[in-house]
Amino acid sequence: MKTKFKLIALDADDTLWHNIPLFNTTEARFREILTASQDTDTIEQRLYQTEKRNLEHFGYGVKSFTLSMIETAIELTEGHIPATHIQEIIDLGREMLKAPVELLDGAEETIRILAEQVPLMLLTKGDLLSQESKLARSGLGGYFSAIEIVSKKDTDTYRKILRRNDLQPSQFLMVGNSIQSDVLPVLEAGAAAVHIPYHTTWVHEQADMEALQGKDFTCLESLRELPAWLTQTEWIR
């Protein structure tokens, strides 16, 4: 594989390992705690609103999600939620932080192939300690020449990464499952993006499809397809 890219960055959650199913399972258990006093739709909507409001304060990740669950529970019960239920929610968050890291099919093989040919960067959002822990448990850490754990992925973030690595936009490729974080801001920065959809998308990462009009990027069904795509496309050096 020969490519003109001097650096390929890969997202982590739901690109290299499963993540959103853990959040969905935890949210279902959270709803069970509150269903005695609230209906499911109300719980879902209030939790969504609380998460959205808290993102700018607490960022992304399990700890932020846990705080949002606690705040939602207090609001929906008007402050009358038992301390035992608060402890249950804290325990849910702790379980998430200790959950095994389950790699997506073909992730280790693909990363190994890529790392033999071009420098790789892990570029992901979230809590620093949590993401470092998941990377260590994934067994993939040794394949990356650089690690970037950021609070958000916007155009300015990508431009800073390009400057720090002394790269022209044409020399950088971002690969990830989120249109909102891994595609649109990358294209705005002048670089290339490959979208590899996960079977479900976190509600806060869903993009307005109109924003994709006229955008030039590649969509692959699986991470396994990436090495062949790099070899067969116009990106060949």
pLDDT tens-digit map of 216-233? 899 999 999 999 999 886
Q: Which domain holds residue 135?
A: 7-17+102-232
The answer, yes or no, to whether residue 236 has pLDDT greater than 50, is: no
Which phi and psi (to 5°) does residue 233 adopt? -95, -175
Closest CA to 70 of 99, 50, 40, 44: 50
Residues 127 and 91 in one domain: no
Q: Which of 45, 75, 98 is the last residue of a domain?
A: 98
CA–CA distance, 62 with 68 (Å, rounded to integer): 10
Identify any residues that bridge with 150 across adjacent strands, giving them in sequence order.
Answer: 125
Whether residue 209 is predicted with pLDDT greater than 70 in this model: the reply is no
Please give the DSSP secondary-structure letter assigned to residue 26.
Answer: H
Residue 205 DSSP class: G
pTM over 0.85: yes
Domain total in the chain:
2
Residue 45 is part of a domain; what is its CATH number?
1.10.150.240
135's CB contacts (< 8 A; 6+ apart) are 12, 122, 141, 147
Looking at residue 35, what is its pLDDT?
A: 86
**CB distance 65 to 94 below 8 Å:** no
CA distances for 229 relative to 117, 213, 236, angstroms: 14, 23, 9
Angle at 18 between CA 14 and CA 21, to 5 degrees: 100
Same domain, residue pair 93 and 106:
no
Greatest C-alpha distance within the chain? 64
Based on the domain organization, do 89 and 127 belong to the same domain?
Answer: no
Tell me if 146 is assigned to some domain: yes
Pair 117, 200 in one domain: yes
Res. 1: pLDDT tops 60: no
Ranges of H-type helices in 103-154: 107-115, 128-138
Task: In whole angstroms, give the CA distance from residue 21 to residue 141.
Answer: 23
For residue 215, what pLDDT is reported?
81
Closest CA to 92 of 69, 126, 125: 69
Instruction: Name the residue with tokens 């001097």.
Output: 6
DSSP 162-186: HHHTT--GGGEEEEES-IIIIIHHH
Task: Give me Rg for the CA atoms of the chain.
Answer: 19
Say whether both 171 and 131 belong to one domain.
yes
User: Do 25 and 123 fall within a single domain?
Assistant: no
Residues 136 and 221 reside in one and the same domain: yes
Q: What is the pLDDT of residues 146-200, one digit of tens each?
A: 999 998 999 999 999 999 999 999 999 999 999 999 999 999 999 999 999 998 6
79, 113: one domain: no
- Answer yes or no: do 24 and 11 share one domain: no
Q: What are the tens digits of pLDDT across the range 75-131?
A: 999 999 999 999 999 999 999 999 999 999 999 999 999 999 999 999 999 889 999
- pLDDT-based confidence at 3, cuts 50/70/90? low
- Chain CA centroid to CA 87, Å: 27
The pLDDT score that the predictor gives to residue 204 is 46
pLDDT band at 144 (very low <50, low <70, confident <90, very high): very high
Domain boundary among 98, 130, 163: 98
